Each structure stands twice: as C-alpha cells, then as structure tokens.
Amino acid sequence: MIVKSVLYMMTVAIIVSSLQATEDMSKWLRPAEVPQPKDNQLTPERIELGKLLYFDVRLSSSEKISCATCHHPKQGWSDEVPTPKAVGHEGAVGSRNSPVILNTAYQNRQFWDGRARTLEEQALGPMENGVEMNMSLDELIPKLNAITGYVKLFEQAYPGEGLTALTLAKAIASFERTVVSGVSAFDKYAMGEEGAISDKAKKGFELFKGKAHCVDCHDGFNFSDGSFHNIGLKDGELKGKELGRYLTKNRAAWYGVMKTPTLRDVTKSAPYFHDGSVATLHEATHICGNGGRFKHNVRNKSTYIVDRELTKQEINDLVSFVETLTGPDMELTIPIKFPQ
C-alpha cells in the first residue's frame, strides 16, 4: 500500500508539475479575443472601411502619404522604407522612429510617450501633424464627404452617425485592431511542440527570463509590460521629444521615459528604439542587457537597466530566442482602388 501510495503521489506530482508548466507557458500566448470599446465594436464593414482609409493617400495634404507609409505591413508595420526617424510631409523628418502598430489593440497607451489612451484618439494625430500627413481635420472631413463612395461606406459602417472626425477615427482604429501577431515558432513551442525552436533559442529563453532580466520590461504574450522606461540611450540633459512621457506631464519619474515596444515580429522592423539609432538586434540586446549605452550621467535611467555582464555567446542566444517571436505576415490584400 505504501509503495502504491508513493507511486500515486509521484504521479500526481508529475501531473501537477506538467500543468504548472502549461500555465506558465500560457501567459506567452496571445489571447484569442481582441479588446474593443463598447461604442466601436468590430464589424466587417468597419474593418473594411478602416483598411481603405489606412492605405488612402488622399488623407494627406500632398496626397502622397498614407498611414501605411510609416506603418506598412511588409515592414513589420513600421516604415515602408526603413529609416531611423519617420519621413513625412515633403520629406520632413520626424523626431522619433515610427512605432509598430502590431498588437496595439492590447495596449492601454499609444505613441512612444503614451499621450493617447485609445486607438481612436491616436488615429487622428498623424493626420494633423505638420511633419507627418499635414492635413487639418477642417479640410479633411469636407474632402471625404465630397467622395460619394466614402459617404456610403460610412453609412453602412456607422448608420446615422455620419462621416465625421469621430467616425473617421473609429474606422481606422477598427482596422488597426485586426493587426495582431500570428503564430510564431515560439508560440508552437509554448503550445508543446518541443522541436519548434532550437536548443540555442531555448537557452536564450532561459536567459531572457533569468540572468538577462529581459522580462522586467518585456513580459507577457506581447513581450511588453506596456510601461515606460529610460534605457540610457543618451547622457546629459534631454531636449524636445527626447524628454518622452515627461512632455505629457512634468513628472520627474517620466523624464526621458518611452513605452516598451513589443518584441513580436521585431526582426521585421529595424532600426530599433525610439530614436532609431540601433541597426541590429545584437546591439539592442547588448545595450539593454549590459547597462545602457551610457552608464554615467544619465538622469532617471531605469533601475532595470544594469550591467548583467552578458557574454557575446549569451547575447547570441538571446537574439536566437527573440528571432523565434517572428510569425508569418498577416494575410491582407492591400487595396489599390479607392472610393470615388
């Protein structure tokens, strides 16, 4: 009886251990349900309308720039032509690298500095920005209302609401909520397919959770804590947009902090960081894992950014793991004809 009891307890322990491992891995998998506000539930009509608007250059004053110019599906939802800082109206260069819109539906703050709470609030900002699309809403809304095809589509998507700045934002946000990460090699591994990633990548995953402390900022299925950090890319005093979230409210804790980007599909969206100053994942990993670019004279550097003394081999293993987070491109037919 004792032997049977011991064997039973051992069996239970193995099952529990297995279940715990499954639970631990489940947090790395994207939830099937996409968050959406009550006043802008996803419908096929809203998504299709939003997609047309997203790729339509007529939303810019030059009629040369669309949302996709800086957030293109073939470049990991970043700049169509990879560049350190976004290039907009008449070649004007922005102050930051274009953030990817992948999985933004799951974020509670938008933009590098988190100044917008919702995708609806975010959607209109680039249009009116003089460096980006340079199109005032006072001009854009009448322009779109003069396009019969769009008026009809807005009525189908938002019956009785009209073609307004609000419904324009809602439509674009609806499309952006469909931009979610696909099943990567790591996801297959997390679902139990042991051979889905290499032994080197598995070592990298253990480093990611352990010695390298990457999970301090890149946690959960989106590999982002959704928070803001100063990772020590510059020393001395910061100016202008470098101040990050500090610009929204002058809080000392927000000095120079930027939102943690997702690592999903990160291989597709180089260069990296908010200033686009890093060309490779190896360099980015070295900076984050070994104390930042500058170790002294960095005001308000995150306490997470310390020198972990990662070796070249460990950095290689970490990069091998991060590369497994790249999934297939979203199945998407990019429109070439637009409402008239």
Residues annotated as catalytic are 132
Residue 325 makes CB contacts below 8 A (sequence gap 6+) with 184, 186, 223, 263, 264, 265, 266
Q: Which helix (H) or strand (E) holds 258?
A: strand 258-259
Pairing of strands 258-259, 228-229: antiparallel
Secondary structure (3-state) at 259: strand
- Cα distance between residue 323 and residue 124, in whole Å: 33
User: How many angstroms from the chain centroid is the CA of residue 203?
Assistant: 25
Q: Could you give phi then psi for residue 56, rounded to 5 degrees?
A: -90, 115
Q: Which helix (H) or strand (E) holds 229?
A: strand 228-229
User: How many angstroms from the chain centroid is the CA of residue 229?
Assistant: 15
- Cα distance between residue 337 and residue 340, in whole Å: 9
Q: Which residue has the tokens 């469909």?
A: 178
Structure token digits, residue 51 = 């997609």
Rounding to the nearest 10 degrees, give the CA dihedral for residues 219, 200, 325, 87.
100
How far the first Cα of the chain sits from its last, in Å, is 82
The answer to whether the CB of 257 falls within 8 A of the CB of 228 is yes
- Cα distance between residue 128 and residue 134, in whole Å: 5
- Cα distance between residue 273 and residue 97, in whole Å: 7
DSSP letters, 145-174, are HT-HHHHHHHHHHSTTT-S-HHHHHHHHHH
- Cα distance between residue 50 and residue 59, in whole Å: 12
- Cα distance between residue 79 and residue 125, in whole Å: 17
